[in-house]
Chains A and B, each alone.
Chain A
Amino acid sequence: MADPFSLWRGFLARPNDDKFKIFGIATLVALVCAVAVSVTSVLLRPYQEAHVEAERQAQMERMLDTLPGLRGLMQEAGVDSLTTRLVDLETGAFVTDKEPGEFDARAAATDPEQSVAIPSEMDVANLRTRARLAPVHFLERDGTLQLVVLPISGSGYQSTIHAMLALEADLTTIAALSIIEQAETPGLGNRIEDPNWLALWPGKQIADDTGKIVISVVRGQATGPYEVDGITGATRTTNGISAMLRYWLGDHGFGPFLTRLRQEGL
């Protein structure tokens, strides 16, 4: 019985066109690389997640800053941040037995126990599954709703776009749209993060008088309160944004919640 060291030497001494050596080297290289990649990604994850979380917070703050007078409203209401509550998307009711802070919406969207499959004919945003619950942010004052912020997501051209949509108290006027995360084509699709483009959204209406969701990004110039100018060279990305608004504001998204909110208030 040879000791492992001389076995290793024997292995290296084999000719390079030997079948055993070819498989051995391929396995070894793959193994070493796999270990290196896994170890670094596990070690680095906490740092990366801290950045993503900080970015989400900063985006939220930035969105609050784009709403005129919101800071003043918040000061009057005596709050320095929005209230966050979890909503059951199917019934539109608030969930009380779970803390919003403990809920990881991203993980829940793909966890079979916490998500539902989206029927393919309704899946305009190409998400396949969505979480049963969603965190919703509010600004309320003396019990009346001033502003509601909904997290939305959907497929763009080459990445999943995550965004926040703020609606005014009438629940049809857009107060602001802000892109939280995207990896669209730099210089083309990623111009959806351009403040000038995002500034086109406030004041637009999500639904017409019959309550049908009609908001969309059009090619070229917008012609009414239900349309937003497209971005040249980013048609697929902006179509993705239209689709995600339509999905998340529709019956399978926040529709039941918004209906309940209109009828019953908070």
Chain B
Amino acid sequence: MASLLRTLTGPIIANNPVTLQILGVCSALAVTTSLVTALTMSVALTVVLCLSSGIISLIRKHIPPVIRLIVQIIIIASLVIVIDGLLRAFAFEISRQLSIFVGLIVTNCLVLGRAEAFAMRNLPLPSILDGLGNGLGYSAVLIIVGTIRELLGAGTLLGVTILTPASEGGWFEPLNLMQLAPSAFFIIGFLIWSIRARWSDQIEPPKYALKTRRDAR
């Protein structure tokens, strides 16, 4: 039971998919210009991740190793198509905002990464929890980045004006940089830095040390 709980909570900070495993960064750049799209993407990705981990774990013993990546991708892609269809049928406005990014869940390395690293070797229940935990960890990063970018880039949160921009009589000058992809890199970088400053065990040892003259001697 305790180990199940660890599977679920571990990926939220200690083993966060974005800040520690550095997976799924490309979509974290793309959908975080506003908090609404970040939230929707989080939910969609978490659902896909839980389902794909569960299904792949169920049939893991019968997936031939030579074609395992193809089998995993087919399952993930089908799930994404079904979820994209559901969004377009029942959440049309949001699906318009997310447009191509839902389709890009297929290529999100996080989903395939967890299928390959965890679901192929574990029972269905722990696999689903691992998917949920990683989904939540990914969502946490997306929500933080989305909040910062929407607040500083447009002065709004969830579309509600918080900081009145100067063009409408307030004091706030929207930072256009925040609406562009590079700002997400900066924010994720700062996030990784602050997490590793707090939990220093996450710092990886340098792979190649700079050789000084004394070492060479």
Q: Enumerate chain A interface residues (CB-CB to B < 8 A).
A: 12, 16-18, 21-22, 25-26, 29-30, 33-34, 36-37, 40-41, 44, 47-48, 51, 55, 158, 183, 186-187, 190
Contacts and interface: CB of A to CB of B under 8 A. Distances in A.
Contacts of B66: 17, 22
B82 A40 contact: yes
Interface of B: 30, 33, 59, 61-67, 70-71, 74-75, 77-78, 81-82, 85-86, 88-90, 92, 97, 99-101, 179-180
A116 to B, nearest CB: 31
Nearest to B80: A37
Contacts, number: 71
Contact of B74 (A18, A33, A47): A33
A-B pairs, top 6 by smallest CB distance, nearest first, are: A47-B89, A33-B78, A51-B92, A44-B89, A22-B64, A16-B64
Contacts of A40: 81-82, 85-86
Nearest to B33: A187
Contact of A29 (B74, B99, B101): B74
Among B33, B88, B97, find the residue whose CB has the most chain A CB atoms closer than 10 A.
B88
Given A33-B74, A36-B82, 7 more contacts: A17-B64, A22-B64, A29-B74, A36-B78, A44-B89, A51-B88, A186-B100
A12 B70 contact: no
A17 B65 contact: yes
A30 B73 CA distance: 11
15 contacts: A22-B66, A22-B67, A25-B64, A25-B71, A26-B70, A30-B74, A40-B85, A40-B86, A41-B85, A44-B88, A47-B89, A51-B92, A186-B99, A187-B33, A190-B99
